[in-house]
Amino acid sequence: MNGAGMIGRLNHIAIAVPDLAAASAVYRNVLGARVSEPCPLPAHGVTVVFVELPNTKIELLEPLGAASPVQSFLDRNPGGGMHHVCYEVDDIMAARDRLPPKAPRCSAMASRGSGRMTNRCCSCTQKIFAAL
């Protein structure tokens, strides 16, 4: 993918939002972006839409139920905000294993079986950038 480096192309940036319909409308109607239909992912406690951009995607996440990890994020950040960044990697397990042991919340387990991500994506929350 990119030689000796661990990360490759930016796959998407995920933004947690308190109101998926309202956020989607802004991207669609104000910014003129192409926005997918909402897709509930009960196993992950979220409903998502993808905003298609020429060079990447933005994933808007809305909690699906009170137990959603995104709900706890929104409890701390009521207006929403960046939840994670997803990079493409050649070998997801090798990428995970190369991270420092104390790297917070970086997951090679981004494959969700929903067809929207592959096992070649490594998702990292915003805290990873301050820690490394």
The string of pLDDT tens digits covering residues 57-110 is: 999 999 998 889 899 989 999 999 998 888 777 777 777 677 766 655 555 444
Q: How many CA atoms lie within 13 A of 1 on its CB side?
A: 15
State pTM to two decimals.
0.76
Q: Could you give the percent of the chain with pLDDT greater than 70?
A: 68
Please identify which residue in the block is written with the tokens 């990447």: 56
Instruction: Tell me what pLDDT residue 44 has.
Output: 86
- What is the number of domains present in the chain? 1
Q: Is residue 48 part of a domain?
A: yes
pLDDT band at 2 (very low <50, low <70, confident <90, very high): very low
Are 80 and 91 a contacting pair, CB within 8 Å? no
Q: Is residue 16 part of a domain?
A: yes
Q: What is the CATH number of the domain that holds 91?
A: 3.10.180.10
Secondary-structure breakdown of the chain: helix, strand, coil percentages, each rounded to the nearest 5: 25, 30, 45
Q: Is residue 4 part of a domain?
A: no
Containing structural domain, residue 82: 10-131
- Measure Cα distances from 111 to 17, 43, 106, 116, 119 in Å: 22, 12, 13, 8, 5
